[in-house]
């Protein structure tokens, strides 16, 4: 069973135990939900769709530009966050792990095709983001939201070797750190006073980068995640409302 499915099932169990467990307060009748303000933790997992990455190298001059395109299969992404809900606005510090497999690497020098080889097709990244979210309440358990964040991303990959006849050159590989950014749009369901279930669309990327004569285009990845938030502030609010 995929890891994102297990994650969502785990979140559902948390919501069920919270709503039906001994001593737990059920969600109050709408339109008077429990105040969500306070600290929360978030867990999400799902699929990631890396976009093609473009490379350009002019070391052989303008008549023989070296160009490459790297493609990767859809991969896996997971994140865990610690946040604070102010009511309509939320702030969150999150750690995100993504991984995918390179499926093709196409290169040319001028009109001539090059042979490309990657020692290990697996590529992964680890990111830390500081994000701001806006919740858009509908006076119900369903709460749409949007958000964006900036942070730092470290990409781990193997070197690529390109060759033409008897000549060859290797580049890239290892661990490379850079600025990262993300944007999200999703919808939450208030399953219980302290548990939200959510589904969200995610865009993550990093700006273009140059190294000597090699220029790499911007990195971009789309994702779809399911997850849950466990609210500690809501627990206190529910307890305070108990006669």
Give the Cα-Cα-Cα angle 137, 28, 33 (nearest 5 degrees): 20
Which residues are CB-contacts of 25 (< 8 A; sequence separation ≥ 6)? 34, 193, 238, 239, 241, 242
The DSSP 8-state label assigned to residue 73 in this structure reads -
Strands (E), 86-121: 89-109, 112-118
pTM: 0.78
Average pLDDT over residues 201-212: 90
- The answer to whether residues 150 and 137 touch, using CB atoms and an 8 Å cutoff, is no
Q: Can you tell me whether residue 58 is helix, strand or coil?
A: coil
pLDDT tens digits for 6-46? Answer: 444 445 444 444 444 434 455 444 444 456 789 999 999 99
Domain count, the chain: 1
pLDDT tens digits for 158-183? Answer: 777 777 666 666 666 778 899 999 99
Q: Can you tell me whether residue 243 is helix, strand or coil?
A: coil
CATH number of the domain that residue 35 is part of: 2.40.160.20
DSSP letter for each residue of 14-51: HHHHHHHSTTPPPPPPTT-PPP--EEEEEEEEEEEEEP
Question: Which residue range(s) make up the domain with 31?
Answer: 3-241
Give the Cα-Cα-Cα angle 219, 42, 10 (nearest 5 degrees): 110
């Amino acid at each position: 069973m995929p890891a994102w499915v297990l994650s969502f099932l785990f979140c559902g169990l948390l919501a069920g135990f919270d709503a039906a467990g001994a001593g737990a307060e059920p969600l109050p009748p709408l339109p008077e939900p429990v105040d969500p303000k306070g600290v929360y933790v978030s867990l999400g997992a799902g699929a990631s769709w890396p976009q093609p990455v473009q490379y350009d190298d002019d070391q052989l001059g303008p008549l023989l530009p070296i160009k490459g395109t790297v493609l990767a299969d859809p991969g896996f992404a997971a994140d865990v966050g610690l946040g604070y809900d102010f009511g309509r606005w939320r702030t969150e510090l999150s750690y995100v792990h993504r991984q995918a497999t390179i499926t093709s690497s196409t290169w040319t020098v001028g009109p001539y095709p090059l042979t490309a080889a990657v020692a290990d097709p697996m590529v992964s990244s680890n990111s830390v983001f500081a994000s701001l979210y806006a919740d858009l309440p509908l006076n119900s358990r369903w709460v749409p939201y949007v958000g964006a964040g900036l942070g730092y991303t470290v990409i781990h990959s193997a070197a690529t070797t390109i060759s033409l006849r008897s000549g060859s050159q290797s580049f890239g590989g290892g661990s490379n750190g850079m600025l990262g950014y993300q944007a999200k749009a999703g919808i939450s369901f208030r399953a219980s006073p302290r548990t939200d279930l959510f589904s969200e669309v995610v865009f993550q990327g990093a700006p273009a980068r140059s190294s000597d004569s090699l220029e790499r285009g911007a990195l971009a990845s789309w994702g779809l995640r399911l997850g849950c938030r466990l609210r500690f502030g809501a627990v206190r609010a529910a307890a305070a409302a108990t006669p």
